[in-house]
């Protein structure tokens, strides 16, 4: 399912090993985003892989994203991990000025 999010932070683009890529690496970045709906709406730290990771995302952008959640468990310790990957992410709008990023108000 696709939801609308506001980007809270974007990590720098890094290269990770990939067997599926011809060069042996692919770009990856982590984007922290919050669903529209106010301060207490759910937030997610999602991994974004190439070619979408190479897009120009910045704090305050409004995006539509489809997230995939993968849960895994460590058999020895019993710890549970959740991996969130943005399968598709599209920028819908971007603030015009840096001052607009600081004063973002969600109308919901």
pLDDT digits (tens, 9 = 90+) for 41-82: 899 999 999 888 888 888 999 999 999 998 888 778 888 888
Q: Global pTM? A: 0.75
**pLDDT higher at 102 or 8:** 8
Q: What is the pLDDT of residues 20-35, one digit of tens each?
A: 777 888 899 999 999 9
H or E element that contains 27: strand 25-35
Residue that is written with structure tokens 């709406």 in the block: 41
pLDDT for residue 98 is more than 80: no
Cross-strand partners of 62: 6, 93
Mean pLDDT value across residues 91-105: 64
Distance (Å, rounded) from C-alpha 22 to C-alpha 40? 42
Main-chain dihedrals φ then ψ at residue 52, nearest 5 degrees = -65, -30
CB–CB of 63/7 below 8 Å? yes
User: What is the model's pLDDT at position 37?
Assistant: 81
């Amino acid at each position: 399912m696709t939801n609308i999010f506001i980007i809270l932070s974007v990590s720098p683009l890094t290269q990770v090993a990939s067997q599926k890529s011809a060069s042996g690496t692919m770009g990856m970045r982590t984007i922290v985003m919050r669903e529209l709906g106010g301060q207490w709406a759910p937030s997610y730290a999602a991994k974004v892989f190439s070619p979408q990771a190479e897009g120009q995302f910045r704090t305050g952008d409004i995006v539509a994203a489809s997230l995939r959640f993968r849960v895994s468990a460590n058999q020895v310790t019993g710890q549970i991990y959740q991996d969130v990957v943005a399968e598709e992410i599209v920028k819908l709008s971007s603030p015009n000025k840096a001052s607009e990023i600081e004063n973002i108000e969600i109308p919901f």
